[in-house]
Amino acid sequence: MDTDNKKTSYLIGLQVAGNLVNQGIELDVESFTTGVTSGLAGEECAVPAEEAGKLMMALEEQIKERLQKQRIEVAGKNKEAGEKFLAENSSKDGVKVTATGLQYKVLVEGDGAVPAATDTVETHYEGTLINGEVFDSSIQRGQTVSFPVSGVIKGWQEALQLMSVGSKWEVYIPYDLAYGEAGSPPKIGPFSALVFQVELIKIV
């Protein structure tokens, strides 16, 4: 690979191969190479159109089934891990549990007003998965965020209406008070429990 074109061509091939592997597609490398060469040369497909259509439809169905199976497996693991995390966390010092299953720990107790569902608030926050991986952070961005209390996930809505302005809490949210069974791809998987550090700066 002594030219930029060769290097770029190699990288494109590597990327295409990686995508195929990630989808679980098993290839005959020699036939695949022949197909690429034919396509670049503008040659007609060597497989009859009707047969080609059936083969590609079957492949798409296999990929869909495989992805669905993977989602089910991930969902089950996330749900089990979240339930275990919350069960263990609920008995830790300072952690309080509400009737809905929301958990929180007061880090700083404010002395301001408590927002209502109809209010808009300004906050600073950082959200992580239960393994500590950050998926969103106004703190890292260095900019506070304002939004209606009623416009966020249920766990946030409940927590904000319990907090006084000036408070800083760590909030532990079960999946059903967060993004539910679907999650919020790509960072938040299905059935994911979440952890937030939330600072309530003011009611706007």
User: Which residues are catalytically annotated?
Assistant: 125, 135-136, 153, 179, 196
DSSP letters spanning 137-172:
EHHHHT--EEEEGGGS-HHHHHHHTTPPTT-EEEEE
Find the helix or strand (DSSP H, E) in which 89 lies. Answer: helix 49-89
Cα 70 to Cα 64: distance, rounded to the nearest angstrom: 10
Separation between Cα atoms, residue 180 and residue 80, nearest integer Å: 14
Backbone dihedral region of 50: left (phi > 0), alpha (psi from -120 to 50 degrees) or beta?
alpha
Residues 177, 117: Cα–Cα separation, whole Å:
16
Q: For residues 181 and 175, is the Cβ–Cβ distance under 8 A?
A: yes
Structure tokens, 7 = 């290097």
Instruction: Determine what percent of the chain falls in helix, strand and coil, rounding each to the nearest 5.
Output: 45, 20, 35
Amino acid at position 9, single letter:
S
